[in-house]
Amino acid sequence: MKEIIKDEFGPEYVINIYDPKLKMEGFLVIDNTVLGPGKGGIRMTENVTPEEVFRLARTMTFKNALADLPFGGAKAGIVWKGGSDELKKQFIQSFAKSIKLLTPKKYIAAPDVYTGEKEMQWFVEATGDWRSATGKPATYCMRAFGKKGERCGIPHEYGSTGFGVAKTAEAAAEILGINIEGAKVAIHGFGNVGTFAYKFLTEMGAKVIVLADHEAAIYEENGFDHKLISEIIKDRKTLKHYPHGQKIPAEKFWEIETDILIPASITNVINESNKNKIKTRLIVEAGNIPMSEETEKEFFKKGIPVVPDFIANAGGVISSYAEYRGYNPKRMMETIEKKITKNVKIIMKKSIKEKKDPRDVGLEIAINRITKKHGNN
């Protein structure tokens, strides 16, 4: 098991929480607050550990710095073996009350694995501070202090992460000389991120020719029937219900030649078994850690740049920032487009000029922003 690394960045706080009455066990790691309060989601899984939470918090430190947000990095975990909604609410609110003194000055919560808008509302109700979590329901509003109108939640279900992935693909493609209009795209994973990436890329004129989820992989040479796919998304059905196209074995997905490949599914989905079969011009990591860093470097050496996860899927955390500032959904999307496009172009141009892979360039920029602010404090 990887250990918690103590270095020049942090972690500033590693907190273990236990509620003997509920037998609720949780962890909060606030890695770095040089740029602002630590920002990161709460995951509820059976096997979550402080070490896992630390690794995720460190990723958030760099993701927020690279997105040019006034947030540091943090993450939380609650050991959750399952149970009723009522018990889950008790766990969330017990955890929230235990760290209340740190929110929102040092930590701001957000959705993650097995937590969503409902859980964020519970969290905020327990802390009594609207700003202590983002990703709240759109119907959960409060009066803006000292201003007209009210602020409402912006749940991630608006598609902010998928929109950011699409804008990442568009910006990176432009730098590489790939015309997004007509570009052949493959998307592996068709959950919240993959479906919205599909939607927005299709609206840009890209031609999605192969899709895969946990039940089916489908090749559609001339692009998918957008109306039928929209109905599948709306009805929350899986891709096996798509009536057209060529159903292909799951492993054949990686052999289809494309301009842009978007892994939006599970960790290490690109690995030794399929990495040498991939024929594409650009990979945009929508999911978290879809391949190892060594594999990313192999693709770069082959002339296939990989836009890493902490750059490509930053739309979610930018959405969190927009909610924190009290923006409406329209302004939130505009903020994502502006920040993602700017950062991706800076990274891709620097990558090409200095012959460094995009992950190294992105980390270098993030670290420079943190150390520069640290030096000014």
Catalytically annotated residues:
75
Task: Give the type of residue at 129.
Answer: D
Which positions ≥6 away from 15 have C-beta within 8 Å?
27, 28, 29, 30, 99
Return the SS3 of 200: helix
Quote the CA–CA distance of 163 and 215 in Å, as a whole number: 24
In the structure encoding, which two tokens stand for residue 116, read together?
Answer: 């969503």
Return the SS3 of 13: strand
In the structure encoding, which two tokens stand for residue 15, read together?
Answer: 């907190």
Radius of gyration of the chain (CA): 21
Nearest to 60 by CA among 6, 103, 107: 107
- Other beta carbons within 10 Å of 373: 15
Quote the CA–CA distance of 127 and 101 in Å, as a whole number: 9
Q: Helical H runs in the chain?
A: 50-66, 85-98, 117-127, 160-176, 192-203, 226-234, 293-301, 309-312, 315-325, 329-354, 358-376
Return the SS3 of 249: coil
Give CA separation, 136 vs 36, 118, 129, 131, in Å.
Answer: 21, 7, 12, 10
Cis peptide before 11 (omega within 30 of 0): yes
Quote the CA–CA distance of 313 and 286 in Å, as a whole number: 5
Task: Give the type of residue at 261.
Answer: L
Nearest to 112 by CA among 137, 138, 135: 135
Quote the CA–CA distance of 162 and 314 in Å, as a whole number: 9
236 DSSP assignment: T
CA dihedral of residues 354, 373, 313, 341 (deg, nearest 10): -60
111 DSSP assignment: B
Task: Give the type of residue at 33.
Answer: T
